[in-house]
Amino acid sequence: MSDARQHIVYPVSRKVDHIDVIHGVEVPDPYRWLEDPDSEETKAWVEDQNRVTFGYLGEIKARSWLQQRLTKLWDFEKYGIPFQRGDRYFYSRNSGLQNQSVLYTLTDLEGEFRVLLDPNTLSDDGTIALSGTAITEDGKLMAYGLSTSGSDWQEWHVRDVETGEDLPDLIKWVKFSGAAWTKDGKGFFYSRYDEPNEATKLEDVNYYQKLYYHQLGQPQSENVLIYERPDHKEWMFTGNVTDDGRYLIISVGRGTDPKNLLFYRDLSEPESPVVELIGEFEASYSSIDNDGSRFWFLTDLDAPRSRIIAIDVERPNRANWEEVIPEAAEVLEDVGILYNRFVVNYLQDARSLVNIFDLDGTFVREVKLPGIGSVRGFDGQRHDRETFYMFTGFTTSGTIYHYDMVTDESTIYRQPQVDFDPADYETQQILYSSKDGTKVPMFITHKKGLPLDGNNPTYLYGYGGFNISLTPNFSISNLVWMEMGGVSAVPNLRGGGEYGEEWHQAGTKLQKQNVFDDFIAAAEWLIDRKYTNSAKLAIGGGSNGGLLVGACMTQRPDLFAAVLPAVGVLDMLRFHKFTIGWAWCSDYGSPDDPEEFKALYAYSPLHNLKPGTAYPATLITTADHDDRVVPAHSFKFAAALQEAHEGENPVLIRIETKAGHGGGKPTAKMIEEIADQFAFLVRVMDMKIEN
């Protein structure tokens, strides 16, 4: 018997006789009390669970080696994408193991850089993170947001770039918002919520966001309310100022639904009204730039893979709209204007393709990328002739390139040096058939010369939701996994954005089961093709990906050896009752709708655990300050799983403190968590590693 299957005595999770009646269906919720993270009983439960979990992990010999190896490989310089404002450049850098990256400024690309903001000095344990920045056009002032312990709540400050000193300005109760400076640098627009109850701010539902203008030097209480809609509590506002400074563009969204409204305000006219340009939630619209009253928009209206259109706000009738760049076979992901040309980032089978067009839509050229991978960047302003981008792949660390818009030349600006040889590994992209015959792509990466003997430890990672695409990305954790002889597999499930809005919608609401079918089919393909077997197959995912693996383990407990649900959405009948959870109804559907309730109840991981079932070895991870997916999801699922599970496979929960949904998590905490997850897999899958 493997030592993974030694008997574990789990903490007792008290059950209560609580039953909800939803659309006539009685739904027991015996662990409802775990929804209160601040009660003494919940705190004691967390301590007891962590004691068992860390006791188990502490017995794994490979754990210390994994942490050392991760730490050694993680210790390399990491760079953010530089950008220019005024006569200055700005970029972030992490020397290797710093808990938070440091923001620098410099006046010459090859000159001396100066620290502008070091978040590591703001807390002893690295749990205060820089969550957003906005620089004035002249590069002299920076608005910046700070997040504490991973919370989505932010406080914004203003710093003088030249002196490095903060101004007295303080903006609080900001969430899901950046800052947009006016062209004169005298103030900025931002969105906030009303001040929450301090005791329950990490759980309470977030409604009624409002758009404000902050004038430098003013107390927040005197900020000007630009727009609110008390008749639509779920509307959220993003304000952006056009490069010419004339217009405020207001994008109105309903949570995570890609469909939005677009309003604008003429800033050249004092007290000008907010004008509704797009007044129906029919498609997504994103403002690119404008020539006077003529605006370019990226939209998926009548184009699920997106296109570029032009609208003159002085002639806004739809009959006057123009198509500038039509929908292509590839998904149009992002677009900007540099050197008076469109720079368009496409996704071609989940890989980046960048094309340049004239402003009339005439194709100019394809940007020669360094290889097959993912690209971010190409940011800048209308007349910039230079820009930067980051290129990364499964075995290529994030390399920064300087790109000349005139000469079409890419030159390496910063290249991280990681202690491994990419030539030792290979990546392939395959297509497999899902349950309904849909062809789904999957990336598979491993050491060269891997024997297809059906016995390789394999980590299958997925997401499948919210129009988010999983593209090639470099990861130290994947590298360590492959060093140990593991296979890394990443399928591009329906629900994501890899093939446009139709692909996204095919994995939402009443069709969410397609996502789980796609993932299960990926697992079966890997087994059928002799990459692995069920005793060597682990699955993992975070947030919506936590839901993915939670649903798959309840539907096919026989198929997997181990499951790692991280900060998962696991109670599909109450997710909408906490913080921003209501916003996910666009993807999941609402439990308040009778038909959507049936679909949610049918796959909700918490509600589909069957007593007496032998579930895979499971390590649930969450954090006590997660105010995106509140920890109650993981708490209740862990309690129910430990009760329902039969057999000696460990089912544990690891609860991080002073951390949130993942954003801004200190490097040290990330390394510790990954080492624990991999140590768990080494033990339960009886992996042999040389160390």
CATH number at residue 166: 2.130.10.120
The residue range of the domain holding 218 is 79-241
- Residue 450 and residue 545 in one domain: yes
Choosing from 131, 306, 397, 543, the catalytic residue is 543
Choosing from 626, 627, 633, 676, the catalytic residue is 626
- One-letter amino acid at 441 equals P
DSSP-assigned beta bridge partners for residue 553? none
- Residue 117 and residue 27 in one domain: no
- The CA distance from 554 to 640, in Å, is 12
- Residue 565 and residue 620 in one domain: yes
Work out the number of other CB atoms within 10 angstroms of the CB of residue 318.
Answer: 7
- Residue 130 and residue 195 in one domain: yes
**Is position 99 within any domain?**
yes
Asked whether the beta carbons of 191 and 180 are under 8 A apart, the reply is no
Helices 544-555 and 594-603: crossing angle in degrees, nearest 10, is 70
Which of the listed residues 417, 450, 471 is the one where a domain comes to its end? 417
Which of the listed residues 184, 216, 241 is the one where a domain comes to its end? 241
**Is position 474 within any domain?**
yes
Domain count, the chain: 3
Residue 320's nearest CA partner among 333, 334, 310, 330 is 310
- Residue 674 and residue 553 in one domain: yes
**Is position 194 within any domain?**
yes
Render the burial of 649-673: b for 16+ CB within 10 Å, e for the rest. bbbbbbbbebbbbbebbbbebbbbb
pLDDT computed for residue 662 by the predictor: 61
Is residue 626 flagged as an active site residue?
yes
Q: Within a 13 Å sphere around the CA of 432, how many CA atoms are in the beta-carbon half?
A: 26
DSSP E strand stretches across 136-223: 141-148, 154-160, 166-174, 180-181, 187-192, 210-215
- Residue 388 and residue 430 in one domain: no
- Residue 486 and residue 610 in one domain: yes
DSSP label of 34 = G
**Is position 647 within any domain?**
yes
- Residue 86 and residue 64 in one domain: no
Token pair in block for residue 251? 């994008």
- The CA distance from 53 to 11, in Å, is 10
Choosing from 214, 607, 645, 661, the catalytic residue is 661
- Residue 495 and residue 619 in one domain: yes
| E strand or H helix at 544 | helix 544-555
**Is position 214 within any domain?**
yes
**Measured between alpha carbons, how far is residue 653 from residues 29, 149, 188, 567, 641 in Å?**
19, 20, 43, 11, 10
Q: Which ranges of the chain have pLDDT less than 70?
A: 1-6, 658-663, 690-691
Which of the listed residues 417, 432, 457 is the one where a domain comes to its end? 417
Q: Which residues contact 31 (CB under 8 A, 6 or more apart)?
A: 13, 15, 16, 635, 636, 639, 640
- Residue 355 and residue 427 in one domain: no
- Residue 487 and residue 352 in one domain: no
- Residue 464 and residue 606 in one domain: yes
- One-letter amino acid at 93 equals R
Q: DSSP letter string over 480-535?
A: HHHHTT-EEEEE--TTSSTT-HHHHHTTSGGGTHHHHHHHHHHHHHHHHTTS--GG
Is residue 661 flagged as an active site residue?
yes
**Is position 157 within any domain?**
yes
